[in-house]
């Protein structure tokens, strides 16, 4: 199997499965009566434990100040997004089956930003990419009205 395909399996399909499980667990957390702030704190402990374990088997690279700041920005962005998901589920009663496809429109944000900031249009078929993005948007519109 080509390395690029392995990268898509490990970096794409496996996270899709794991993030899907995460969505189901978010709903279970809300039904168990947990609050939003505790959610982030406890998930943060889980992420910390995963990071510590990963240091042991992945081999650690040098950490720079710039990389540290970017990682903190990722954490802030993700944390705020997760608070919004929990609020949508628990406070406003949005069904997970409709909410998850909508918050996964993040794919389109990533596509657009990668094309702009990393000039990835040189490495991909932009027309196919935009066609697929259009289908994602159409799917989200159908799901939101389901």
Dist. CA 145–CA 82, nearest whole Å: 23
Q: How many residues does the chain have?
A: 146
- Please say which residue of 64, 79, 94 terminates a domain: 94
Phi first, then psi: give them for residue 119, nearest 5 degrees.
Answer: 50, 40
For residues 109 and 130, state if they share a domain: yes
CA 15 to chain centre: 8
What pTM, to 2 d.p., does this model score?
A: 0.77
pLDDT in tens for each of the 146 residues of the chain? 788 788 888 888 898 889 889 989 998 998 999 888 999 999 999 999 999 999 888 887 788 999 999 999 999 999 999 999 989 988 899 998 888 888 888 888 888 888 889 888 888 888 898 899 889 889 888 887 88
Element spanning 8, H or E: helix 3-8
Contact call for residues 108 and 133 (beta carbons, < 8 A) = yes
Flag whether 131 is in a domain: yes
pLDDT (0 to 100) of residue 75: 93
For residues 77 and 107, state if they share a domain: no
Flag whether 119 is in a domain: yes
> For the chain, what is the largest distance between any 2 Cα atoms, rounded to a whole number of angstroms?
48
């Amino acid at each position: 199997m080509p390395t690029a395909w392995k990268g898509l399996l490990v970096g794409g399909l496996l996270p899709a499965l794991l993030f899907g499980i995460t969505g189901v667990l978010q709903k279970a957390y809300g039904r168990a009566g947990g609050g939003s702030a505790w959610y982030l704190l406890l998930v943060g402990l889980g992420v910390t434990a995963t990071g510590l374990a990963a240091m042991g088997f992945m081999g650690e690279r040098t950490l720079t100040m710039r990389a540290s700041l970017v990682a903190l920005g990722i954490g802030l962005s993700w944390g705020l997004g997760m608070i919004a998901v929990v609020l949508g589920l628990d406070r406003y009663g949005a069904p997970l089956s409709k909410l998850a496809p909508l918050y996964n429109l993040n794919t389109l944000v990533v596509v657009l930003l990668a094309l702009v900031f990393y000039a990835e249009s040189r490495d991909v078929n932009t027309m196919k990419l935009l066609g697929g993005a259009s289908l994602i948007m159409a799917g989200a519109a159908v799901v939101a009205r389901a």
